[in-house]
Amino acid sequence: MAELILIQSGRARAIPFEPPRPFSELLASEGIHMAHPCGGRGVCGKCAVLYETEGGVPETKLGCQLVLTGDARVTLPDSRAASIQLSGTSSLPITLSPMKGRLGAALDIGTTTIAARLFRLADGRCLGEAGMVNPQTQAAADVMGRIGYAMKSGSGHLQRQVLGAIETLLSACLPSEHSREEIDALVLTGNTAMLYLLTGRDPEPLSHAPFQADCLFGTACQVLGIPAYLPPCMNAFVGADITCACLDSGQYDAGGISLLCDIGTNGELALLKDGVLRVCSTAAGPAFEGAGISCGCGGVEGAIDRVWIEDGALAYGTIGGKPPIGLCGSGLLDAAAALLDLGLVDDTGATDLDRLEIGGGIALLPRDIRALQLAKAAIAAGIRTLLHGASLAPEQLSTLYIAGGFGAHLNIESAVRIGLIPASLSQKVRVVGNAALSGACRLLLEEPSIRRAHAIADSARHVNLGGDPVFNEYYMDEMFFPES
């Protein structure tokens, strides 16, 4: 008996099987149905998956042609996965002035997920989009773990994994009337470490103080034999994804005083004042992504993503209206806010209960509340430290841009209730979704934006929070929830 590890929508499941077994047949027997637009004749490429075997090179395979001969791991692209935020909400119009070629793709290589969008360059028409879990998560979940893995085992395997994922996503985006050979341009954004691993650079300089990147990209190269542009990073921990988000959200062009927050395992913050971006990165941990929480899960079907108070008790909703399987990040925030309002948790995070029942058998434990306090304190203290350094009060900000997948599902009232963002900014929030991907698309379709991306990265001043006594003081303060 062999075992298939299938990764779909951020969840892994083990499926035992007797080899050899056609992959599509095995999926069907498990009730999973992949689309086969060409009837499984192996000509449309729309069923591409990322296939890995122990010690083998990760490869893109056509699911309809794949026969499993032993233990394997397969990651499915999924453009409808709720956990992979594909869209951004740029307010800036694009003036078409594309990179040269027939087709072009923009990709955001996130630590957890990779998102792609393919365009016909002549008229800027979007031909397809897809996302998948970054297969490198198999090696380590977070950036530092990934860097550690590369230093210990070499970065070759991680590089092959991300290249395989890119190839898989390009296939998934490509309409059947076009061929892979027509893709003439790529823009690949991501955090600094992800771009190091993509290009096979040794990430050792990112692993220790003073955390100085020896390359910040903003360069052209070849990826999978396709001319590619990698936008500029700001420093070792504020990457090209934030440059793209500042570009596409319109934050930089709008001028004035504003703050952009990308809230995830790492919170990245960019405060604009007088044309200068003060940027920092703050380690929030995985709680906002539903990880490290006893009943946590990603933003997948069945995840409780909304919690509210109804007739003095908690009520909840799940993604897809399915039976609850756990709490995702936005549900966690809502739940904490409601528990505070009900007085079941106090402003220190203390509770008299061993289990805080949310509903449907899902409950938070006191240690989950503690993990949320740590995560929210990291972000809130980062915001306060940036504002302090610029001698600003929150009220002076004209806009708070919230970027990233978690931010797209955030209930602003709950975020304010738990003290993640200052109350005075609640009316000034603009949720911009996956602005990193949208920014990469803009660079592909509007070449003058490349100059602006460089101006944004050049204007960045790094604020190092590590060991900063102001940050430490705010961090201790922000461990508490606001009093009601």
> For binding to ligand FES (CB under 6 A), which residues are involved?
36-38, 40, 42-47, 62, 64
Residue 127: is it exposed, middle or buried by C-beta count within 10 angstroms (0-12/13-18/19+)? middle
Residue 121: is it exposed, middle or buried by C-beta count within 10 angstroms (0-12/13-18/19+)? buried
| Between 65 and 95, CB nearer to ligand FES | 65
The distance of closest approach from Cβ of residue 84 to ligand FES in the complex, given in angstroms and rounded to an integer, is 22
The distance of closest approach from Cβ of residue 24 to ligand FES in the complex, given in angstroms and rounded to an integer, is 8
CB 165 within 8 A of CB 175: no
The distance of closest approach from Cβ of residue 63 to ligand FES in the complex, given in angstroms and rounded to an integer, is 6
The distance of closest approach from Cβ of residue 65 to ligand FES in the complex, given in angstroms and rounded to an integer, is 6
| Between 180 and 370, CB nearer to ligand FES | 180
| Between 172 and 381, CB nearer to ligand FES | 172
Which residues, other chains included, contact 68 with Cβ-Cβ below 8 Å and sequence gap of 6+? 2, 4, 17, 19, 20, 21, 22, 23, 26
| Between 62 and 141, CB nearer to ligand FES | 62
The distance of closest approach from Cβ of residue 162 to ligand FES in the complex, given in angstroms and rounded to an integer, is 23
The distance of closest approach from Cβ of residue 113 to ligand FES in the complex, given in angstroms and rounded to an integer, is 23
Q: Spell out where 103-154 has E strands.
A: 103-109, 113-120, 125-133
The distance of closest approach from Cβ of residue 122 to ligand FES in the complex, given in angstroms and rounded to an integer, is 26
Q: Reading across the β-sheet that carries 72-75, which strands appear in turn?
A: 11-17, 2-8, 72-75, 48-52, 59-62
Residue 283's H or E segment, with its range, is strand 276-283
In this structure, the number of other CB atoms found within 10 A of the CB of residue 16 comes to 9
| Between 62 and 358, CB nearer to ligand FES | 62
| Between 46 and 384, CB nearer to ligand FES | 46
Reduced to 3 states (helix: H, G, I; strand: E, B; else coil), residue 69 is: coil
| Between 97 and 176, CB nearer to ligand FES | 176
Distance CA 76, CA 417 (A): 37
The distance of closest approach from Cβ of residue 58 to ligand FES in the complex, given in angstroms and rounded to an integer, is 19
Which tokens belong to 333?
């925030």
Sign of the torsion angle spanned by Cα atoms 394, 400, 405, 410: positive
The distance of closest approach from Cβ of residue 179 to ligand FES in the complex, given in angstroms and rounded to an integer, is 12
* Nearest alpha carbon to residue 61 among 33, 34, 28, 82: 34
| Between 27 and 242, CB nearer to ligand FES | 27
| Between 36 and 462, CB nearer to ligand FES | 36
Q: What residues are paired with 268 via a beta bridge?
A: 262, 281
CB 311 within 8 A of CB 288: no
Helix axes 449-458, 240-249, angle to 10 degrees: 120
